[in-house]
């Protein structure tokens, strides 16, 4: 008599809702020998962020954290060595908490969020930390890289694709209606909006102070962003040099600077957040990453946003708040033009953006998310928000979030 094999039913899975619990960042500094963090280690920046997340949420047992995903664009030196794991250990998390490093250039922290967020939705994690760090003073963009000569010899990309400022000049070429005057006006507005938000006390909630060290000045404490230039006018910007092209349009004033800083956030399954008493600042709706021509990488958020909207069944009209990374003013303006939004639409970067506050590459995605979470808390009339950014070497990333405090208003 033949034995009958027992058929074990395949486990069924139901995707879980993922929530953004809270986010925090160090003040951003200027990269270079005179910057805030010139003699501060990159890993110490992200360790400070992780510790602050734990301090702000004593209701979260550290052993409940299932993963630590930390991004860095240049993964060498003090922001190498699988920084997600080493930062977790340095921050005092239990040795049972794993970690990993991630790189998608400017969208590193954004990708850390979507990666562990997907794991939470799938059921692999309950709670995770995601973030990014970039010390562009210690590790300039491109340090130690060795691009394959085939990129140029086989004309796979234009030479300008390797220099982000040149890609922004290319974007001006492609969209001549985006003039330098428009870019300068947008940049001046970013500075003004940041200054107003700072004066109103909106920025401080995002920040954790960071100890600094200087051979010349001794120890200090970073409590505020270093890059902003309050009072910047369009006339000031018009006089700046165009380093990427003679008589060009990209200047230090209408582009984000070279910066140091770290960001981090807590993500959790919604029911787990409720069980632990963790706040729910935003609910993850969907996301999209795409590739575009590397020579015009700044246009990346257009198709990535279209993809995110398509996969979630939403339209651009459903989005009530936008946090767009300001790598270059022309890049944001190209996105706004495509979607029919005005240069001064109040829904876009209400507290200014990277042109004012800085862009420490892999860390910036979580800054966008943290600010959107703050906006949601103050705007129960807004249901959906978008965080989006262009990505070096020709990509775009967009993440759509839902406001748990939405009160059922029209938007």
Give per-10-residue mean pLDDT for the chain (411 aa): 68 89 98 95 98 98 98 95 98 98 97 98 98 96 88 90 94 98 98 98 97 92 97 97 96 97 98 98 98 97 98 98 98 98 98 98 98 98 98 97 89 54
- How many Å apart are CA 137 and CA 155, to the nearest integer? 32
DSSP 251-311: -SSSB---EEEEEEEEEEEHHHHHHHT----EEEEEEEEEE--GGGGGGTHHHHHHHHHHH
Predicted local distance difference test score (pLDDT) of residue 141 = 86
Question: Do the Cβ atoms of 239 and 13 come closer than 8 Å?
Answer: no
Please state the pTM of the whole predicted model.
0.95
Per the domain annotation, does 9 fall within a domain? no
Q: Over the stretch 111-153, which tens digit does the pLDDT of each residue have?
A: 999 999 999 999 999 999 999 999 999 999 888 889 899 988 9
- How many Å apart are CA 137 and CA 42, to the nearest integer? 10
Per the domain annotation, does 406 fall within a domain? no
What backbone torsions phi and psi does residue 206 show, to the nearest 5 degrees? Answer: -80, -20
What backbone torsions phi and psi does residue 317 show, to the nearest 5 degrees? Answer: -70, -20
* CB atoms near residue 310 (< 10 Å): 12
Alpha carbon of residue 44 to chain centroid: 19
Catalytic-labelled residue, pool 106, 135, 139, 375 = 106
Catalytic-labelled residue, pool 139, 172, 359, 375 = 359
Answer yes or no: 202 catalytic: no
- How many Å apart are CA 59 and CA 277, to the nearest integer? 7
Per the domain annotation, does 258 fall within a domain? yes
Q: Indicate the number of domains in the chain.
A: 1
Per the domain annotation, does 151 fall within a domain? no
Catalytic-labelled residue, pool 139, 172, 375, 390 = 390
What backbone torsions phi and psi does residue 213 show, to the nearest 5 degrees? Answer: -135, 140
Per the domain annotation, does 176 fall within a domain? yes
Answer yes or no: 106 catalytic: yes
Contacts for 251 with CB less than 8 Å, ≥ 6 apart = 184, 237, 240, 241, 242, 243
Per the domain annotation, does 72 fall within a domain? yes
Per the domain annotation, does 23 fall within a domain? yes
Answer yes or no: 390 catalytic: yes
DSSP 49-108: HHHHHHHH-TTS-GGG--EEEEE-SS-SGGG-SSHHHHHHHHTT--TT--EEEE-BTBTH
Predicted local distance difference test score (pLDDT) of residue 5 = 65
Predicted local distance difference test score (pLDDT) of residue 239 = 96
- Averaged confidence pLDDT in the chain: 96
Contacts for 152 with CB less than 8 Å, ≥ 6 apart = 159
Alpha carbon of residue 383 to chain centroid: 21
Predicted local distance difference test score (pLDDT) of residue 256 = 98
As a residue count, the chain comes to 411
Predicted local distance difference test score (pLDDT) of residue 1 = 56
Tally of helices (H runs) and strands (E runs) in the chain? 12, 12
Predicted local distance difference test score (pLDDT) of residue 14 = 86
Per the domain annotation, does 128 fall within a domain? yes
Q: Determine the structural domain holding residue 104 and report its residue range.
A: 18-138+157-401
Predicted local distance difference test score (pLDDT) of residue 56 = 98
What CATH number is given to the structural domain containing 242? Answer: 3.40.47.10
């Amino acid at each position: 008599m033949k034995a009958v094999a027992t058929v074990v039913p395949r486990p069924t899975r139901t995707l879980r809702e993922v929530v953004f619990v809270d986010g925090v960042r160090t003040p951003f500094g200027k990269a270079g020998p005179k910057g805030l963090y010139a003699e501060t280690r990159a890993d110490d920046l992200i360790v400070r962020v992780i510790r602050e997340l734990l301090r702000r949420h004593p209701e979260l047992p550290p052993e409940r954290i299932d993963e630590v995903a930390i991004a860095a664009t240049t993964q060498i030196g003090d922001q190498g060595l699988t920084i997600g794991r080493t930062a977790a250990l340095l921050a005092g998390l239990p040795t049972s908490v794993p970690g990993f490093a991630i790189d998608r250039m400017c969208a590193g922290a954004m990708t850390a969020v979507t990666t562990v967020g997907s794991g939470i939705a799938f059921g692999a994690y309950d709670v995770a930390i995601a973030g990014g760090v970039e010390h562009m003073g210690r590790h300039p963009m491109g340090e130690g890289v060795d691009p394959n000569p085939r990129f140029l010899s086989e004309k796979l990309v234009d030479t300008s694709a390797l220099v982000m400022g040149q890609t922004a000049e290319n974007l001006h070429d492609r969209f001549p209606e985006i003039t330098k005057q428009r870019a300068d006006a947008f940049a001046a507005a970013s500075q003004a909006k940041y200054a107003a938000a700072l004066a109103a006390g909106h920025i401080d909630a995002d920040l954790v102070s960071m100890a600094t060290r200087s051979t010349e000045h001794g120890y200090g404490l970073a409590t505020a962003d270093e890059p902003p230039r309050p009072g910047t006018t369009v006339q000031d910007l018009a006089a700046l040099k165009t380093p990427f092209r003679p008589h060009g349009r990209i200047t230090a004033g209408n582009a984000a600077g070279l910066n140091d800083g770290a960001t981090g956030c807590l993500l959790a399954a919604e029911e787990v957040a409720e069980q632990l008493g963790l706040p729910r600042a935003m609910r993850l709706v969907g996301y999209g990453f795409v590739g575009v021509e590397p020579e015009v990488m700044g246009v990346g958020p257009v198709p990535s946003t279209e993809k995110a909207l398509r996969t979630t069944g939403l339209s651009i009209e459903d989005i009530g708040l936008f946090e767009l990374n300001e790598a270059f003013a022309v890049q944001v303006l190209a996105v706004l033009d495509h979607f029919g939004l005005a240069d001064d639409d109040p829904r876009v970067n209400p507290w200014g953006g990277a042109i004012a506050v800085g862009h420490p590459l892999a860390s910036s995605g979580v800054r966008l998310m943290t600010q959107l979470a703050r906006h949601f808390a103050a705007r129960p009339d807004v249901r959906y928000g978008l965080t989006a950014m262009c990505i070096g070497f020709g990509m775009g990333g967009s993440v759509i979030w839902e406001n748990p405090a939405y009160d059922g208003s029209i938007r």
